Chain A
Amino acid sequence: MTTLFPVRGVFRAVVSTVVPEASQLDEQGWQELEMLVEATLRDRPPAMLRQLRLFLRAVQWLPVFRYGRGFTSLSAEKRKQVLSRLQDHRLELIRCGFWGLRAMAFLGFYGRAEALRTIGYAADPRGWGVPR
């Protein structure tokens, strides 16, 4: 079983909020993104992976108290509000948890060759030797 498998839906909802362009990914794009994240998580301590899954579950269920529904059922604007509160939370532990989740979202999205093309990043080992 992969790290993300049990919480894939909420992870995708978080990624789409962190990087709005991710909502336009097709299934193949999502799979590529998740593979990059899984490959990075593979060598991390099991406790860290458990915490990541726990944090994602908390992201899903915490909004129930405020909005009466889970994170994945919220509008894009409300999802943004939920994540903003986590990012600025008074508890450092919560802020760090969100920072880690946000980092995984960026890793998956900007780790893809397609994303590099979209943002115009074209570093090349040939350096100045590449016609520009």
Chain B
Amino acid sequence: MIRRSYDIVIIGSGAGGGTVAQELSLLCREGVRIAVLEKGPKLRDDEFTGRELEMAQALYEDGGGFLTAERTMTLAFGCAYGGSTAVYTGTSLLPPQRILEHWNVPSLTFADVEQRARKFAVENNVHLVEDELLNENNRLFVEGCRRLNYRVQQFPVNLKGCRSSSLCNLGCPNQAKQGTDRVQLPRAERNGVEVITRCEALRIGEKTVFARVHEKPAGGKGEPSSWEPGEYEISAKVIVVCAGAIHSPALLVRSGLARKLPRLGHGFTCHPAIIMVAEHDRTITNFVGHPKSFYLDQFAESDRFLLETCMYFPFTTAKAMAGFGEAHSRFMRAFPRLQMILVLACDEVDPHNRVSVDGSGRPVVHYRFTPEVRKGLVQGAVTSAKIFFAAGAVRVHLPVAQIPTIERAEAERLNHIAEHPDFKPGKISISAAHLQGGCVMGRGLADSVTDAYGRVHGIPWLFVADASLFPNSLEINPYLTIMALADRVAENIRKEAHTLL
């Protein structure tokens, strides 16, 4: 066992960990030693090729196909320098006031979170994509929504020098997306923070992290870790867990804290999503241009779903569609004519849905689709189909229908399908990338794992600062809100530095 010592150890380098690292890095000038432990690798710029399978394998946990315990949904989350900010599309929305008020966390005000989120919107160059760079996949969504009188909105995105490769979810090959891997982490490193990649936190003891540094696999992408492969015992006066909504609660469970913290692992939500595909009778621009430029949230409160433009890669698209055989292949052969929409259900906390670990300590996510989630996905899918047809599509792939191909002439069947969907978990492909909860913040042990500043109840030196803090689903893309909460946690640690360090 190799021993190391720091004042502050941050576990994870995504939207939460990267932000905490930057915000605490000013303490390095006062001699405070800070380390970030990141399980994934740091890739060189020239290693971002945009090739689907190799990039998914290099940047995502389980190649983007982490299965829930029920095996009815896959979860996609990053495992790399920058965490999931290396693989998101850069969509950066301010937190909704109604959600923050619904969370009802003492001392957590909408004004405070919004102000912090705006700070990062400026810092990470969040803006609307220029009109001339929008592709037809996005324009057709706007057109279809407007014909149906839906209130479509444009996503603010955090890009700089975007060349519209459409490959955001495979790690930007042009380094244009301003995630923590491009902004906060490099700044933290310049200020003196050490980032140790390929370093997996195994468990936390009394002011100690037990970790394993992995060797770079043969033929794998990324730099080797700056530390020798092996087992480490890292002491720290403050530990900030920012490993995301799966690994943060799993790490605390492995550390024997489940008995002390009855809500640990609970409160997991994830915006379960299905990918909708439609075919036009002409080639459209779809795999060039920013893939996610518009969204529709007017049904979030009433029907519990959101729609977003999207454009996925061949394997992901094939997997996302229901069925197989000739009907499936026909859509795939029409790839340059495909339009896509992502349907996300606004799920609520459910007692069954939680994070635990298996016998070997690996995270296990239990998730069942509540009737409200099923309804949200079905309504969202049918609404998407109507938007596709309004935009001129000739056929739509509707995964919640017994026969998924719906020709334009059969569009009147849509309302019947909405009433009688064929929603079979295990048949329909459902995935999620907005993973939230598991170490939720709140008032006390009965309702939460941490207080409103991310401090774990009863453990003054242990903090959480990532999406696992969310007491319930955010109902929008979460990154700016994660950064805002992480900023709040870091500010509180700075204020208490004289007693903590």
Contacts and interface: CB of A to CB of B under 8 A. Distances in A.
Contacts of A126: 163, 165
Contact of B63 (A40, A92, A120): A40
**Consensus secondary structure, chain B interface:** loop
B425 interface: yes
B147 interface: no
A111 B53 contact: yes
A19 interface: yes
Interface stretch (A4-12, A56-64, A67-75, A94-102): A94-102
Contact of B52 (A93, A111, A127, A129): A111
Nearest to B71: A96
A80 B325 contact: yes
A17 B72 CA distance: 22
Given A36-B53, A40-B63, A87 B71 contact: no
B288 A124 contact: yes
A30 interface: no
Interface in A85-114: 87-88, 92-96, 98-100, 102-103, 105-107, 109-111
Interface string B418-454: 0000001111010000000000000000000000000
B425 A92 contact: yes
B165 A106 contact: no
A54 to B, nearest CB: 14
Interface string A25-49: 0000000000010011001110000
A1 interface: no
B53 A107 contact: yes
Nearest to B425: A92
Contact of A99 (B163, B164, B427): B427
Contacts of A17: 324-325
Contacts of A92: 70, 72, 424-426
Interface residues of B, number: 46
Contact of B314 (A98, A115, A124): A115
Contacts of A99: 71, 426-427, 429
B314 A110 contact: yes
A128 interface: yes
Nearest to A109: B318
B332 interface: yes
Given A121-B335, A124-B288, A19 B57 contact: no
**Consensus secondary structure, chain A interface:** helix
A132 interface: yes
A20 B329 contact: yes
Given A83-B324, A128-B164, A40 B333 contact: no
Contacts of A121: 287, 313-314, 335-336
B133 A40 contact: no
B53 A132 contact: no
A122 B286 CA distance: 10
B166 interface: yes
Contacts of A21: 329
Contacts of A124: 50, 165, 288
Contacts of A109: 318
Nearest to B288: A127
Interface in B39-73: 48-50, 52-53, 57, 62-63, 65, 70-72
Contacts of B362: 45
The 9 closest A-B pairs by CB, nearest first: A95-B426, A127-B164, A125-B173, A106-B318, A127-B163, A96-B426, A123-B287, A96-B71, A110-B314
23 contacts: A17-B325, A19-B324, A19-B329, A20-B325, A20-B326, A36-B53, A40-B53, A93-B426, A95-B427, A96-B70, A96-B426, A99-B71, A99-B429, A106-B315, A107-B315, A107-B319, A116-B314, A121-B287, A121-B313, A125-B163, A127-B164, A127-B166, A128-B289
Given A87-B324, A125-B49, 15 more contacts: A43-B62, A87-B427, A92-B426, A93-B71, A95-B424, A102-B324, A105-B324, A106-B319, A110-B314, A110-B332, A115-B314, A121-B287, A121-B336, A125-B48, A127-B288
